[in-house]
Structure 1
Amino acid sequence: MQIPLNEFEQVIDEKILKRGLTYFKGGAITDFSEISTGEYEAIVSGTEEYTVQLEVSNNTIVAHNCDCPYDMGPICKHVVAAIFYLQQNELELNHPNFTIPKKKKTKSISQQVKELLRAISHEELIEFVQKNSNKDKKFRNYFLASFGHLSQNQSKEFYQKQIHSILQTAAGRDGWIDWSDMKYVVNTTEPFIENAEKYLTNNNFENVFYISTALLEEMTEAFQYGDDSNGDLGYFVESAMELLSKLVQKKLPATLKQEIFEYCISSFNQKLFEGWGWHLGMLHIACELIEKESDADIILDCLDTVDGNYERELAQSFKLDLLREFKDKQVVERYINKHISNSSIRMKEIEKAFKSKNFEKVLQLSKDGIKCDEKDKPGLVKVWYNWLLKVAQSQKDTPKIIEFSRFLFIDNFHPEQDYYQILKDTIEDEKWYPFLEEIIKEITPKQRWTYTELIRKIYIKEEWWERLFLMLKQNISLENIEQNESYLSKDYSSELIELYSERIINYVEKYIGRNHYQTACRYLRRMKKLGGGKQVKDLIEMFRKQYPQRKALMDELSRV
């Protein structure tokens, strides 16, 4: 979200703007620095202390970040407080704790650091780093992560020890890394990824292998003692797997290829990453390193050991791809026949048969799939029926097209085709309406609740507004009125206003709390748009008399 500084009050949500101004006026900005030209950092104290970063270009905030947990909108009150601080002279605001000189500009942090580095001697700098590395574990971890690549004795263990130290420092005495400590983990660990990318570019492949495997093992373990709600640990795992994937595409020395292959097989067999997607992912990496059929056999043996229904199905599909590449057709066919209940394998065989116009095989596989999955996997049954329909369409078999489209139209949450339109295009005009009435009769529930999405869809498609309105009246709710408003407003605006009015009165009577009042007021605005301004005014007047003690309601009503 880009924010023009000369009109930020118009861009930002009013509620957040007020909260940010309150924070600013309350002295919540305890530190504000220009890091470099156009880059600012602020410390904002609220329930906790948060860091805000702003990047300004051409009098516009082009980037902003706050490490608070707020995720209900594009900008938080801490960022807004920092913007008010930045703009306080232009806005002529008086800040209680700070005054900014109008003529003399303070040097940026970046300038100050440059000047100090020129002034400090080489020996003083070495002494400073050594002293702070000894007494400050976080400083030491960041220093090693940034410059450890210059060490001569690198190995997986070398990097693993550093990453482990970072994670343990973040975990502290409690042994748990909460979300606020993850920022330290990210900032301190990111240099490993950056260095590995440089190694990859410079063909220093061994160190890429060491860093990526060290990250994989340590971050996987950290899921047991860290809050990954922000996805930071997952980010490092994904980055490590991506590095390995890039690495095995390179022209590697034979010894390193063998080392990576053996690591992938060993980590799989030792179940280092079991339960995670990269457990099977290690075998995918190993596949890229296959030199001979015996290497493929090792991976095939590993795949036979996979547990769990979902994982086993993935492994079976993976194995089939390997068999196609390294084994003869008879072996492949036997494997397919043995594991045809695997939906992925069945799907590939159906697609292959359909492409070659072997419709008999498509029909057989689809019908078998229906029998196989009708009890436990009803969603897949619809997939197999759709293949029956596709064959009928290819063969222009009208009765079958109608049969399968009708079934899929009535009972399908994730349609692969527009079954309604297929039916309409296929059925003769004089038979169409009787056909629809038959469907409506079949799917209309016998119980009192008669509002079904499928019947609603038919009414809308056929523009049967009277029947749609009748169904709405029989199943009134604020959500249903809103859902059908765009279709009915032309012919039934006054009726919709009346329905809204009745339900809003009941809603306000039943529910208490600002969130509910905001919902009620949202529907009042919808009434207004329908031409019910007078009715809305009457309702507001009634609510003010009836619920004067509900201050939040009075506040929300004033905004309608």
Structure 2
Amino acid sequence: MVRQSEIEEVLNSLSKEELIRIISQVAEQDDAFKNGLLVKYVKGDHAQQIQSCKKLIDSIVKKYVGREGFIPYRETYGFATEMLKLLEDTNGAQDETLALEIALLVLAEGVAAYQYADDSDGDVGMLVEEALEQIREIAGSLDRQDVSAREIFFNRLLTMSKSGIFHGWEDYQTALFHICAEFADAENLREQLKASIENHIASNANNQYQKYSNEALLQILFQLIQDYGSKEEAGKFVQDHLHFTYFRDWAIRKSIEKRNYRRAIELAEEGEQQDRQLPGLISKWKAARYEAYKKLSLKQEQGQLAKELLLGGDYAYYHDLESLFEGDKEEFYRGIIAELRKSENWRARGVYLKLISDKNDLEEMMAYVRANPSAIEEYAPRLSADYREETEQIYSDHIYNAAGASSNRKEYQRVCAMLKRYKKIAGQASQSEILLQLKTQYNRRPAFLDELAKIK
């Protein structure tokens, strides 16, 4: 392979005419290369430079989409890299308006690329985020005293936010509104932004799928009220939007900060009723209610709710619940274990396993392994001392079952890995016995025999 220094030596030895001929030849064969040169080195007016950028973007897309009109997985990184190069070449440009237009072109093409590129590795997402970040940086670099430039910039962003390219990609539209909020110190721009967001929310009023997008937009409006409105306005806004998770959570936190714990409980209970079909939110509101009970030292209510949360799958409440129990701690533990064991909730099963592990409850671990032999590998190191014979029997049966279900080299390797771990529990002699049995039983599986032969 020719080193870069050797290429530079060759190029340095050529005449200007020869270099021009070589570059022209490459440019004729590669539209993206040609348009990249024009963007970087030809300085016309805004319209000409923007047109050059459009041609470059089109040539990059054309280079990668192929005949099928789609960029395959292996080509997406190259596409994103070339688009990012265009952003980098304009980063730090003296003319913020031109830099903005180019960043918006890249943003638009990046969002559009979700429809014609395989973004399994997130390269297109990275491209879009980089374009948004550059727009943020340009917005932050504007002179606050230059009212005219800021207004032009703001209006361009607001216009872009209304583009149909964001249909289905509302998070990026919201990101543009967030950047627009950087200009909200100017009252006229602030009012324009509020009107635009409110119109957008109103247009989504009957669309359930836009609920989360609307919630994000409402947060921007709320921030504007907090920054430029009164406390009364902010309070009313929150009260009017308690059906959104963000605002109910905000109201609960503020109530707790102000030590108005009764109000926090009321808000949490309303949330539980409102979101009764959403287990994740139910747990969130119960946790908030629990915090308020704790602050008020309502131990009976606290204990009852802690148990609900624990049985619902939140292990963090076990120690609180244990400390609230005034009777025999062992009796309490056994009662909780019995309830967790019979629960069909997979989260409760996770609490059960963590609890018996933390308590090092070998009897319960052994009972669990008897019912779930595939768990033997996890628990064997702890169980082998007190339940040596039974542990080894379950472990060996597990290995035989895994071997019987194996049919390819990868699965054979997994069985052999089990055998190596089994040796640490049962010793060399027991491992050798299983090895001999497997070699005899599966003597017509050469790949399996090959893997077994590697075990020392």
Supply the AA of the counterpart residue of 1:424: E
Mapped partners of 2:408, 2:177: distance in 1? 54
Match of 1:119 in 2: 13
Structure 1's 132 and 437: CA in aligned 2 closer, same or farther, altered over 3 A? closer
Q: Does 1:266 find its partner at 2:159?
A: yes
Structure 2 residue corresponding to 1:175, chosen from 43, 62, 69: 69
Question: Which of residues 419, 423, 427 is equivalent to 1:524?
Answer: 419
CA shift, 1:291, in A, is 4.0
Residue 486 of structure 1: how far off its partner (Å): 4.0
Match of 1:425 in 2: 323
Q: Give 1:66-145 correspondences, 5 Å limit.
A: 109-144=3-38
Give the letter for the 1:356 counterpart: K
Deviation at 1:211, TM superposition (A): 2.1
Return the offset for 1:553. Answer: 0.9
In structure 2, how many angstroms separate the alpha carbons of the residues matched to 1:542 and 1:332? 75
TM-score, with length taken from structure 2:
0.89
- Choose the corresponding residue for 1:206, options 97, 105, 126: 97
Measured after TM superposition, the shift of residue 496 of structure 1 is 2.0
1:369 maps to which of 271, 274, 284 = 271
Residue in 2 that maps onto 1:547: 442
Structure 1 CA distance, aligned partners of 2:350 and 2:77?
46
Determine if contact 1:164/1:218 at 8 Å carries over to the other structure: no
Distance in 2 (CA, whole Å) between partners of 1:557 and 1:195 is: 58
Given residue 458 of structure 1, which amino acid in structure 2 is its aligned partner?
L
Task: Give, in whole Å, the separation in 2 of the partners of 1:353 and 1:221.
Answer: 44
Instruction: Select which of 217, 229, 241 maps to 1:339.
Output: 241
Whether contact under 8 Å (1:272, 1:279) holds in the other structure is no
Cα pair 1:460 1:487 within 8 Å, conserved: no
In structure 2, distance between residues paired with 1:325 and 1:187: 39
Structure 1 residues 418 and 188: alpha-carbon distance in aligned structure 2, compared to 1, 3 A threshold: closer
**Distance in 1 (alpha carbons) for counterparts of 2:81 and 2:292:** 56
Q: Which letter does structure 1 place at the counterpart of 2:296?
A: Q
CA contact (8 A) 1:497 1:532 kept: no
For structure 1, which runs of at least 5 residues remain unmatched after alignment?
1-32, 34-107
CA distance in 1, matches of 2:350, 2:230: 51
Give the C-alpha shift of residue 485 in structure 1.
2.8
Tell me the distance in 1 between the aligned counterparts of 2:228 and 2:165: 28
What's the CA shift for 1:446? 8.1
| Deviations 1:123-164, CA, capped at 9 Å, x for gaps | 32223222332233243244345x24x523344443233112
Paired with 2:152 and 2:51, the residues of 1 have a C-alpha distance of 15
1:321 to 216, 219, 223: 223
Alpha carbons of structure 1 residues 493 and 262: separation in structure 2 relative to 1, 3 Å:
farther
RMSD over aligned Cα atoms: 2.4
SS at 2:434's partner residue?
A: helix
Distance 1:206 1:541, change over 3 A: same
Cα distance, 1:315 vs structure 2:
1.8
What does residue 303 of structure 2 align with?
Answer: 402
> Which of the residues 124, 129, 143 maps onto 1:238?
129
Mapping for residues 348-363 of structure 1, pairs under 5 Å: 348-363=250-265
Structure 1 residue 390 corresponds to structure 2 residue 282: no
Label 1:321 to 1:187 Cα distance change in 2 as closer, same or farther (>3 A): closer
Q: Report if aligned partners of 2:38, 2:52 keep a CA contact under 8 Å in 1.
A: no
Establish whether residue 511 from structure 1 lines up as the match of residue 406 from structure 2. Answer: yes
Conserved? CA contact 2:70–2:116, under 8 Å: yes
Look up the SS of the partner of 2:373 in the other structure. Answer: coil
Aligned AA for 2:427? G
TM-score (norm 1): 0.73
Alignment of 1:311 onto 2:213:
yes
Q: How does 1:477-488 map to 2 (within 5 A)?
A: 477=374, 480-488=375-383
Other-structure match for 1:501: 396
After alignment, is 239-248 or 179-188 more displaced?
Answer: 179-188
How many Å apart are 1:522 and its aligned residue?
Answer: 1.7
Contact 1:500 1:523 survives alignment (8 Å)? no
Flag structure 2 segments of 5+ consecutive residues without an equivalent: 205-209
Q: Cα gap change, 1:470/1:181 in structure 2, threshold over 3 Å: closer, same or farther?
A: closer
- 1:237 to partner: Cα distance: 0.9
**Which amino acid is the alignment partner of residue 444 of structure 2?**
Q
Residue 15 of structure 1: aligned partner: none
1:255-284 CA deviation, whole Å, 9 max, x = no partner? 432232112211222333232221111101
Contact 2:306 2:320 in 1 (8 A): yes
- Whole-angstrom CA distance in 2 between matches of 1:531 and 1:233: 52
Which segment is superposed worse, 292-301 or 528-537?
Answer: 292-301
Give the number of the structure whose residues are more often strand, by fraction: 1
Structure 1 residue identity aligned to 2:446: K
Q: Give 1:372 deviation, angstroms.
A: 0.9
Does 1:290 find its partner at 2:184? yes
Contact 2:32 2:59 in 1 (8 A): no
The answer for the alignment partner of 1:257 in structure 2 is 150
- Separation in 1, partners of 2:51, 2:126: 21
Alpha carbons 2:35, 2:52 under 8 Å: kept = no
Question: Any conservation in 2 of the 1:267–1:273 contact (CA below 8 Å)?
Answer: no
Give the deviation of 1:187 after TM superposition.
Answer: 4.5
1:52-95: CA deviation from partner (whole Å, max 9, x where unpaired)? xxxxxxxxxxxxxxxxxxxxxxxxxxxxxxxxxxxxxxxxxxxx
Counterpart-to-counterpart distance in 2, 1:299 and 1:190: 29
Distance 1:483 1:270 in 2: 55
